[in-house]
């Protein structure tokens, strides 16, 4: 292996030694000066080469990246706008509920107030606070690289990413473990909420999420954890962590808040028994009604007795009662969806 030996043991060009020998034989010093024009020119050239290579081989921000940045700013602005509007909706919803409660109180229907509260909690229409678990999921660290590369990933699926299917299984596992209310990244999961994916993004109730995914589940945190971990979803989660390095942190807490679902709207309303006074027997029809009985509870049940507040058959109930004045704030809302 003469080639390797030469390469390892005499890495210096033999030409240097020969030239030095020639110069010594001619009576000159072995080495020339390093300050000759040739050397300086070549040094400049070398520096230029290094700089050019470094610059041209570095990934450059492309025109697409600029457009993407612009789009990101617009998306963020609109998302902020959306969040503001949601807060407004929540505030207005609370106002409406207060009016409803007031109307009920004035008409003497206090029994209904508690029913409505109960139903609103079950439907996910109101924010809840209590003990619970937070489960934070994040993509594997290996997928971090290239996230800012300026172009979207061309390959369809990356192993280390959290998918909507993962979230579905975990959320269902949490429900199964006894969670009473769940939100993901601040989006309340009502019974009509869907976790889906579009392209690379996970979408909850038509709102795209960005990582990390924080699942907040209210309930008995100790009990939930004990039930969740040996369940299918718990094992699935630990598999995700082991196999694909998806990061997950579960933590219990004494006071967590899940927001109300602002998208709750009236879908079906039914009259509750005889209008004025005797309210108790009819309340069961509400619970069969829909998953989102907020408005129906407020308007359809309104003991004002104005049958116009039901969506199905405004004419089949008695009308023109004495309380129609107090019922007026509630009745107009019955047939429209809250914005």
Partner 1 sequence: MIPVLGLLAGLAVGLFLDPSVPVWLQPYLPIAVIAALDAVFGAIRAILDGIFNDKVFVVSFLSNVVVAAFIVFLGDQLGVGSQLSTGVVVVLGVRIFSNVASIRRHLFKA
Question: 338 phi and psi, to 5 degrees?
Answer: -65, 135
Preceding peptide of 308 cis, ω within 30°: no
Cβ at position 40, least distance to partner 1 in Å: 5
Of 12 and 25, nearer to partner 1 (C-beta) is 12
Least Cβ distance, residue 62 to partner 1 (angstroms): 14
Distance in angstroms (rounded) separating the CA atoms of residues 94 and 127: 10
- Give me the residues that bind partner 1 (CB under 8 A), please: 7-9, 11-13, 15-17, 19-20, 23, 30-36, 38-57
Contact by Cβ (8 Å): 270, 285: yes
How many CA atoms lie less than 13 Å away from 55 in the CB half-sphere?
6
**Least distance in Å: CB of 45 to partner 1?**
6
CB 126: neighbour CB atoms within 10 A?
20
Q: How far is the CB of 9 from partner 1 (least distance, A)?
A: 8
CB neighbour class for 120 (10 Å; exposed up to 12, middle 13-18, buried from 19): buried
Q: CA-to-CA distance for 100 and 338, rounded, in angstroms?
A: 14
Q: Which is nearer to partner 1, 58 or 288 (CB)?
A: 58
Question: Min. distance of Cβ 60 from partner 1 in angstroms?
Answer: 10
Which residue lies nearer to partner 1 by CB, 48 or 206? 48
CB 46 to partner 1: min, Å: 5
**Cα distance between residue 39 and residue 43, in whole Å:** 6
Q: Looking at beta carbons only, is 54 or 63 nearer to partner 1?
A: 54
Tell me whether residue 11 or residue 156 sits nearer to partner 1 (CB atom). 11
The Cα 272–Cα 284 span in angstroms is 8
Q: What minimum distance in Å lies between the beta carbon of 29 and partner 1?
A: 9
Rounded distance between C-alpha atoms, residue 190 and residue 199, angstroms: 24
Return the number of the residue (38 or 145) whose C-beta is nearest partner 1: 38
Q: Which CB sits closer to partner 1, 20 or 89?
A: 20
Instruction: Give 251's contacts (C-beta < 8 A, 6+ positions apart).
Output: 133, 134, 135, 136
Strands of 96-177, DSSP E: 128-138
């Amino acid at each position: 292996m003469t080639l390797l030996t030469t390469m390892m043991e005499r890495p210096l060009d033999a030409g240097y030694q020969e030239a030095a020998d020639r110069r010594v034989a001619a009576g000159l010093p072995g080495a020339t000066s390093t300050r000759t024009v040739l050397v300086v020119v070549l040094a400049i050239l070398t520096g230029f080469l290094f700089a050019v290579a470094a610059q041209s081989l570095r990934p450059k921000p492309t025109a697409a990246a600029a457009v993407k940045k612009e789009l990101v700013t617009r998306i963020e602005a609109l998302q902020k706008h959306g969040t503001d509007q949601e807060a407004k909706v929540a505030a207005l919803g609370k106002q409406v509920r207060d009016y409803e409660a007031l109307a009920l109180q004035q008409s003497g229907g206090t029994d209904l107030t508690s029913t409505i509260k109960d139903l609103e909690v079950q439907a996910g229409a109101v924010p809840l606070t209590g003990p619970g678990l937070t489960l934070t999921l994040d993509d594997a660290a290996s997928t971090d690289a290239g996230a800012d590369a300026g172009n979207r990933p061309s390959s369809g699926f990356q192993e280390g990413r959290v998918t909507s299917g993962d979230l579905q299984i975990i959320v269902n596992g949490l429900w199964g473990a006894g969670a009473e209310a769940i939100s993901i990244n601040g989006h309340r999961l009502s019974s009509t909420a869907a976790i889906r994916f579009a392209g690379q993004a996970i979408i909850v109730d038509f709102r795209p999420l960005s990582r990390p995914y924080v699942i907040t589940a209210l309930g008995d945190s100790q009990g939930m954890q004990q039930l969740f971990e040996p369940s299918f979803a718990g094992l699935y989660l630990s598999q995700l962590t082991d196999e694909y390095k998806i990061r997950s942190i579960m933590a219990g807490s004494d006071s967590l808040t899940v927001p109300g679902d602002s998208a709750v709207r009236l879908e079906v309303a039914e009259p509750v028994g005889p209008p004025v006074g005797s309210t108790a027997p009819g309340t069961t029809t509400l619970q069969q009604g829909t998953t989102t009985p907020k408005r129906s509870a407020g308007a359809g049940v309104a003991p004002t007795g104005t049958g116009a507040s039901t969506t199905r058959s405004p004419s089949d109930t008695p009308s023109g009662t004495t309380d129609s004045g107090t019922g007026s704030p509630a009745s107009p809302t019955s047939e429209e969806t809250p914005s």
